[in-house]
Every structure is written in C-alpha cells, then in structure tokens.
Structure 1
Amino acid sequence: MSLRVVFMGTPDFAARSLAEIAASGHQVVHVYSQPPRRRGRGQSEQKTPVHQLAEVLGIPVSTPQSFRSQEVIDHLASLEADVAAVVAYGQILPQAALDAPRYGCLNLHASLLPRWRGAAPIQRAIMAGDTLTGVQIQQMEAGLDTGPILLSETVPIEANDTASTLHDRLMETGALMWSRTLSALSRGSLEPVPQSAEGVTYARKISSDEARIDWSRSASELSCHVRGLSPFPGAWFQLAGEKGPVRVKLLMAEAVDGSGDPGRVLDEDLTIACGEGALRLVRLQREGKGAMMAEDFLRGTPVAVGAELD
C-alpha cells in the first residue's frame, strides 16, 4: 500500500533519504526544510539541499522558522499524511506535530541509540574512539532521541575514517532503510523495541574552543579528535607567524612513536610531540588557504624543528 509521506530534513544527509523515499513508490506530499540562509562571500541566499531536491522533484516545500506556530501545525494536519519521515531536520517538533500524521513521525538517526543522542553523533563517535556505529529509524517522542527503535543497521568505523567518509556511508545505509520501514509500516508489521536505559550518551554540538588541539592529550586520542572533526569544523592549532599567530586546521594525522614536550615539532616531517606518543601531521589547511598535504604546506609555511605549536 502506498503511503502519504511528509518529509522533514535539511542537509545532504537528508536529501539522499528524500530521493530514496520518492523513488520507492510512496507519495511524498510535502517537504519541510530549514529556511534559506545567506552563505558564501557574496552572502547570497541559498536554499538547503533538501529544499533544492524537492523543487526538482516537484514537491511543495515549506520553510517555517519554528514548528511552535499553530498555523504551521494546522498546515501539517491538513496534509492528512500517513507518516512523517524526519532526517536531520534541525528543529524540535512539539507533541502536536508528532501526533499530526496517522502513524506519527519516524526519525533516521546516525548512531546506535541510546549512545550519541543529539546533534553530532557521527563526529562524537569517531572522537570517542568508537569502532562501531550505525543508523536507526525510531518512532519519535517528545524527548531527545528517546523513542523506540523500528529498524537498525550497524556500520563499522574504520581506522582511517573521517567524519566525512563515515557520514557518506551512514547516509547511504540510512537512505536504503526507508523503503523497508515504510513497507513494513503499511503492512502493520513494524515491532518497536524500547531503548535501553543504560549506556546513554549525548552528542552535543561541537564548539570552536573544543575543536582546538590540546597537545597534552595522547597521540591516539588526538588522532580520533582530528578525524572526527574533519573536514568540518576542523581541529585546529596556532602557528607563530611574522604578523602574529596563524590558525591552521588539521584534517588528517596519524599517531606514531615519539616523545618530547607536548606541542614541540620533532622533525622535518611535521611530527609533533603529544602527552603520550607523537602525531604526524598529514593534511592541513592554513586560514584563508586550501587544504594540502604536509609537504606542500611546508613549502609555503616553513616550520622549524623545535618550534612549539599552540
């Protein structure tokens, strides 16, 4: 049976799910996405990836500032949807919105709940050194990612994964779960599984200060820190320059043997002493410049052996 689906989402991660649902034979009757934002050097107004795809597919789009408005709730109810599929929408839905579709709202979340509830589960999983994560579709409740699990897929975190590479694998795995979920929903064969009360962690948003590299940490911890923040927002440190400190993003690094004062440059290959072990810097991006490999970075920005990074 074909379902009437409302889709709510914003970034590329969500757009892939919208494409899959639209191709699965269900009727996507309306899309909600975040309002257009001014971006780039010209500060031109840009629609979200979900908004752009919905227009290509010919699906009506709404971009409310908030779902707290009764007018917005009434509009959602008027769509007479069977279900809402929610993927990285970026807004908290009140209970009235959760109750509006016939079967409620289902959310695709990029972790194995209850671990990493919240805004940044992909980054947090890598930063914490996790070796396994996954994608789950849950029945939404008023609490933050607290609802029962309807479908789950596990995904290994590889030793060289960055937030970007893991994001893409989880995006594809999650998108392909929608067809099975919606088909099972239409047959009445979904079996909700309550989340465990143990092992709850929260994936809070990444702050700029938190992204700064603390060289007193171990090299293995910093390797995870760097990969989890690559490419955005990017782990960073400061390098002394002629006109003052220069901010540098570190996009890839590997833990190696070495010792010295934390932050000290140990050799000409940009190996930096850490609290335990050392970190060889592999890919960097100087503020205002493009990303480059360490050898290319050093041609334009020499770093002396013995220098101290901040």
Structure 2
Amino acid sequence: MQKEIVSYCISDVNILTLACIKFRQLLIKSGNVCPYTEAYTIASSCNKLFRRNFLKADTIGLIPRQGYRYRDNQSKVAIQWLLWEEKVRKINIVHAAKQQEIVLGGLPVDGYCAETNQIFEMMGCFYHGCVKCFKNDRDKPIRKHLVKINHLRELGYEVVVKWECEFNKDKDSDVRKYVSEHPLAHFTPLNARDSFYGGRTGNIKSYYKVKEGEKINYIDICSLYPWVCKYGKFPIGHPKVLVGEDCLKLDLTQMEGIIKCKVLPPQNLFHPVLPIKLNNKLMFPLCYSCAKGFTQEECHHVIEDRAFVGTWVVDEIVKAWQMIIKL
C-alpha cells in the first residue's frame, strides 16, 4: 500500500511538471511571456501578455507621482493671492492649485494668464528678501528674483509682482471671506486611489421566516471582477482637471471620470449608496457625525454635521443623485 502511495505521488508530480513546462511553452509561443520569471499568477501573466502584445502606445495615462494638482510647492498665501487676482481681474490664472506651475522662458512662474499675457509672482518675504521685513542677508535672494523678473519682461510678458507682507496688509474682510471659502485654498487634491473602496459583504437580515407562498432564492455571483474587466469601462489617456466653479455647470450623466465633492445623503435610505472610509472601517453612512461616533440612536444632527467629503467614480454620484443625495 505504501509503495502504491509513493508511486502515485511521483506520477502526480511528473504530470504536473510536464503540464507546467507545456503551459510555459504555450504562453511564450502565443504571447512572448514566461509565467514563471515575469509573473507569478494567471492574472499577472495575462496582464503582461495584454500589455506586451495588444495595448497600443500612449493609451493608458500614467498619473504623475505628485498628481495633477499641487504638483509644485507653492505657499498657501500665494494661492490665496492668485485666487483673489482671478476674481478682481475676472480672468483665468493657471497655477499649482489647478495643475502645475507654467514654465515660461525656462523659468517656473507662480501664475500665468494666457489671455492677457500676464505673469503673476508672489514674493515671499523670507525667501525673496523683503527690504521692509528683513534688513540683513537679503541681497542675494532678492537679486536672483529680480533677474528672473527682468528676464520675463524682456521676453514680452507683463509681470505682476506682490510681496507677501503687502498682501497680508491689504487683506480686508471681503478678501479673507473669499479665500477662506474657496475650495482650491483648502481641499486637498483628488487622489484617484481614494475612489477604490475594495470589496464588501453585508448581512442585511440574519434570520427570515418564510411566509406562505414565498420563496427564498440563493444567488452566488462568481467571477465578477474578470467580468467587469472584460465588459466594463476603463479610462484612457489623461483627464481634464476641473476645479471649483468650473464644476457647477457639469452634466455628470454625460461624462466619465472621478469626482471629489461634498455630499448630503437623505435620511430615509435603507441601502445607502456612497461609501467612505472612517474609523478604519468601510461605511455607507447617511450621517457623517453618527458614523464617526458609532451612534445607534435617531439622528438629530444639522446639515453641516451630516454631510461628508469623498472621492467616487462619477457613475456612483449619478446613482446617488437619483436617490436624492444633495451635492
């Protein structure tokens, strides 16, 4: 008996070895991919084969390491000033809060308006050597920046310069209110990975007694992920970034993408739509404050305490809108 067991095991290993060798040969022949040296799962092997043989160049947009907004270090006060200049001048200024700093004449600039050919430079008092705020050790930094400004003006640009101390002095109640409420000055940039919430399971009812004439059906959904990969939608290329007031006139039913926004769910949904990650848990709340405090009682929170900010695929927001969730 023991001899037969050993013989069976040896035969089993030999068959598996031959199968693995044949599988490797077929995959190399059909897709030029070795499943043992280049990948370790069927999924990764298929992914490698697809990318190597079928994916066209410049189809998938690789998200920049720093994202699409705030890719360059820019002070908070500089963003506030640029936002106020946009409002006062009624123009569109490209700056780091929207995407990345524009490079003109080989030099990065804080803000640029193509329509007016204007460059906007915020001079931080400490880093640029303000003569009013710093009497000593300021010559080198200010000289370097003046050379930059003169170079840009020689190229034909109108350069608008503002010192940090002057802007802080000019801030009246209107300016402070505007910049304090502007979404670009406070909300962190959208991170596409924040829209991934992973799989979830939920036990809606632990026990149900069947009534006369009723039937209980058992549904097992298999291979949902590969089905979505085959028949679902995938984004290609790089996105168009819209922020703040640019989003007000959007028709979400006619677009694809990812959105970060503040939502106010209704209080009467049995199955909430939008998930958030809170207290290291995946939740589908109808009230942010109740979810945060694990409240089990009736909700009496005001609107400001119930609403929450999150990142979701546009399709989820459209569904939420159909369920009367207010954006």
The two structures have a TM-score, normalised by structure 2, of: 0.22
**Structure with larger Rg:** 2
Bigger share in helix: 2
Bigger share in strand: 1
The two structures have a TM-score, normalised by structure 1, of: 0.22
